[in-house]
Amino acid sequence: MGALQGLEIEDQRPGAGCVGAHGHDDTWHPGAVGGIPAGPVRDPALGDELGTEQAYLAHARRSLEAMRLGVAGLRAQGGDKLAREILEANLAARLTALQDDPDVPLFFGRIDFGEGAASSASTLAHRGEVFHLGRRHVQDSHGDPVVVDWRADIARPFYRASGRDPMGVYRRRRFGFQRGELTGFEDELLGLGEELEGLSPLVAAEIERPRTGPMRDIVASIQPEQDEIVRAGIDRSVCVQGGPGTGKTAVGLHRAAYLLYAHAGQLRRSGVLVIGPNDAFIRYIGDVLPALGEVSVDQMPLSELLARPRIQVRGTDGDAAAEVKHSARMASVIRRACYRRLATPEEPMAVRVGVTTVRLQPPEMEKIRQRVLLRNLPYDAGRTAFRNLLVDRLLQITEQRVHNVTRGDVVAALRESKAAHDIATVAWPKIDPVDVVFGLLSDPDAMAAAADGVLSEPEQATLVWSGHRVRAKAPWSPADLVLLDEAAGLIDRPRGYGHVVVDEAQDLSPMQLRAVGRRYQRSVTLLGDLAQATTSWSSSTWDEALSNLGVGTASVETLRKAFRVPGSVLAVANRLLPDIAPDLPPALAVRDAPDALSSVVVTPEAVPAEVAARVGGALERPGSVGVIVPADRTGVVGAALDARGIAWAGVDDAASAARVTVLSAEQAKGLEFDVVVLVEPERLAAGEVRDLRLLYIAITRAVLRLVLVQSAPLPASLGVGT
């Protein structure tokens, strides 16, 4: 705060201090929302009641505009230049957060607290009050809430109240919108024990609304079991095991948004990090948090987290080498490679302080070094501590001989003595993570010394490069990045975040999990599905993953309700579970559609044309289409789409606006499409466990419809007709 002291904010708005932003009274009169009819209301032609809510929406938009104009009229005054720049940047960020998007409704729900008994002291204080809930807080010129942020405690009953436990709520109302226009609503009179059975029609409509482009938030449709995870405390680490369509990704992102709201003072400083498996996934989820008003969250693929300056990945590993590099045993090898560079000096350290010369013998220096090693500090911090203890010991010896000597005298004497400096460097040298790992991978003797008793000789041999002794030309592979990160983390701690969210965590190796574990300070949210693990180094249980992550205590929460995958599609996927994840419970579908699943078998030569025809049919309706193909069929399928004039893009084509994406099952992980055309799934069905898991992933990418285009029938056990 010191840099901001002395700053003032000058209000430069015309007419500042007047009522309302435009000189009018923007107060909403509560009597205008009375007289609400009972029961579910879904008729868009409702009369006064719908008009009243539409008027309230207009009032909310005016209030938000007034807030935005209020911030736009502020200027930083006083303080130094840096402080003013910081405050101006904060004001600019606030202005961006207050920007209204006419296509996004300012509120999505409403709760009316009853006049009777309340379930808690907090709801008791709000008896008889009405709150509209939205993605952000909006207030009028008097500071009274017009829209309550969905993350506020008062909003909790909207997500968790039921007819059995209304939590003091008499009525829960959900609104329906079309392009930002309020078109309808439905009510549940929880105070009378009324509750909609199954999925709310408006929630179902929101889930099934056609999508193109990035993932949308689910703030209007968070379910009670999801809300429990979203609102878990900042010091609680959570692992979410969720089958396809259970909303685990959205839950993790909304948890990040909630923590930034509930613990703003802590997390605005330390930050929040979201890690995904690849660039395409980060692009897909990247708009969710900004839509919730959180624009400061770092979101990146794991490869970006592990990237190092001036290290170019130009090599690849065989399966055996990659598996060894990703194993937890490499942490011991890297540690040995770092600390084996410490050596006991052969000569005593002699330092002339004033008129006397003091000496430290090698055994005494070794004793000091062992004291530091027991403290388990990062390598560089240990090196600093070692040198400080050397100074302390030299000062003790000097004080026995010379009066009025100071610590500064000893430090200066050490600096002036090259011999003493060299001895201290031998005892605890400065090291570089790239040098450490390069030395291991380029020198069989260095590898043998560090890996003895940890890796077998054949394993060591698979790791050592052949004929690469020049660092500038080193054939670094993606797996080498985790080794470099391990070495860097031993030498000095990387930047930490207050909270870290990790998605598709089932595929992370022990070494990748260790890298993530070095980045969080308070807590972590781990998201994944063990049935979708496709790497040879993935964890077999979440307890194993959490152990490699370094989390002391965490809860493992299971989401089973699949909101985003139709029931008939999920049923096919669930028939794979006995072979790919027999210990996991199947996800439970909460909705279906009569045309959600279709299948056709054609000759291999006819597959591309059939795929193009099915994609063309899908494009007659709004929404996105994913064409999931075997890698060796991408070219012919793409050519067939081109022949029909269908625009398409690959998953890595960030600039494309095409509604059709052609990708592999591996690339489809974590993504969703309204319609999925799955090409030759029988090839995956005939494979090993990894292929069956890829089939499980591919089948469950569809939100509305799945079309199977086959050149041979699927196994009868999957229950797919043609």
Report which of residues 351 and 126 the model is more confident about. Answer: 351
Q: What is d(CA 587, CA 418) in angstroms, rounded to the nearest whole number?
A: 68
Is 567-718 the same fold as 216-341+431-561?
yes
- Closest-CA residue to 248 (of 267, 271, 222): 222
In sign, the C-alpha dihedral spanning 411, 415, 419, 421 is positive
Residue 149 β-bridge partners:
134
Question: Would you say 669 and 560 are in contact if contact means Cβ atoms under 8 Å apart?
Answer: no
User: Which pair of structure tokens corresponds to residue 611?
Assistant: 């795929």
Residue 67 and residue 689: Cα distance in Å, rounded? 56
Beta strand 169-178 with 497-502 is: unpaired
Task: Give the separation between CA 336 and CA 617, rounded to whole angstroms.
Answer: 61
Q: How many angstroms separate the CA atoms of 88 and 372, rounded?
A: 46
Residue 539, token pair as written in the block: 């964890």
- Which residues are CB-neighbours of 525 under 8 A, at least 6 positions away? 237, 238, 239, 240, 252, 255, 256, 499, 500, 501, 502
Range of weakest confidence among 26-30, 311-315, 474-478: 26-30
- Can you tell me the mean pLDDT for 128-152? 94
For residue 3, name the pLDDT band (cuts at 50, 70, 90): very low
Cα–Cα–Cα angle for 80, 86, 90, rounded to 5 degrees: 140
Q: What is the pLDDT of residues 289-342, one digit of tens each?
A: 998 889 889 999 999 999 999 899 999 999 999 999 999 999 999 999 999 999
Q: What band does 471 get if pLDDT is binned at 50, 70 and 90? A: confident
pLDDT of 43 over the 70 cut: no
Confirm if 288 and 250 have CB atoms less than 8 A apart: yes
**pTM for the structure as a whole:** 0.88
At which residue do the structure tokens 């395409």 appear? 280
Locate 210 and state its tokens.
Answer: 């056609």
Q: What is the pLDDT of residue 216?
A: 87
Residue 710, number of CB atoms within 10 A of its CB: 22
**20 closest CA partner among 73, 71, 66:** 66
Q: Check if the beta carbon of residue 589 is closer than 8 Å to that of residue 565.
A: yes
Q: Select from 3.40.250.10, 3.40.640.10, 1.20.1270.10, 3.40.50.300 the CATH code of 567-718.
A: 3.40.50.300
In terms of Cα–Cα distance, which of 277, 312, 303, 341 is closest to 487? 341
Judged by average pLDDT, the poorest of 15-19, 107-111, 368-372, 668-672 is 15-19
Q: How far apart are CA 242 and CA 220, in angstroms?
A: 20
| 4 or 425, greater pLDDT | 425
Compute the distance between CA of residue 558 and CA of residue 586 in angstroms, rounded to an integer: 11
Quick one: fold of 216-341+431-561? Rossmann fold (3.40.50)
Amino acid sitting at position 396: Q
Residue 694 · residue 534 · CB < 8 Å = yes
660 compared with 209, residue with greater pLDDT: 660
By percentage, how much of the chain surpasses pLDDT 70?
A: 91
Judge whether residue 15 has pLDDT over 70. no
- Parse the chain into domains and list their residue ranges: 45-197, 216-341+431-561, 342-427, 567-718
Average pLDDT over residues 225-247: 97
Mean pLDDT, the chain, integer = 89
For 76-123, the DSSP string reads EESS-HHHHHHHHHHHHHHHHHT---TTS-S--EEEEE-SS--SSHHH
* Gap between the Cα atoms of 613 and 607, Å rounded: 10
The Cα–Cα gap between 166 and 316 comes to 58
% of the chain exceeding 90 in pLDDT: 70
| pLDDT, average across residues 637-649 | 97
Q: What is the C-alpha to C-alpha distance for residues 400 and 480, in angstroms, rounded to an integer?
A: 52
Among the listed ranges 51-60, 350-359, 598-607, 677-686, which one has the minimum average pLDDT value?
350-359
What the block records as the tokens of 585 is 């419970």
- All residues at 6 or more sequence positions from 374 whose CB lies less than 8 Å from its CB, including other chains: none
- The structure tokens listed for 505 are 């965590």
DSSP string, 373-418: HTTT--HHHHHHHHHHHHHHHHHHHHHTT-TT--HHHHHHHHHH-H
Q: In the beta sheet, which residues pair with residue 169?
A: 113
User: What would the pLDDT profile of 258-300 be if each residue is shown by its tens digit?
Assistant: 999 999 999 988 999 999 999 999 999 999 999 888 988 999 9
Helix/strand/coil (H/E/C) assignment for every residue in 283-351: HHHCCHHHHCCCCCCEEEEHHHHHCCCCCCCCCCCCHHHHHHHHCCHHHHHHHHHHHCCCCCCCCCEEE
Q: Which run of H or E residues covers position 138? A: strand 138-139
Residues 550 and 548: their CA atoms lie apart, in Å, by 5
Q: How would you classify the pairing of strands 561-562 and 109-113? A: unpaired
Evaluate whether 599 touches 572 at the Cβ level (below 8 Å). no
For residues 209 and 621, what is the distance between their CA atoms, to the nearest angstrom? 11
- Residue recorded with tokens 């279709």: 598
Which residue, 555, 556, 547, is CA-closest to 331?
547
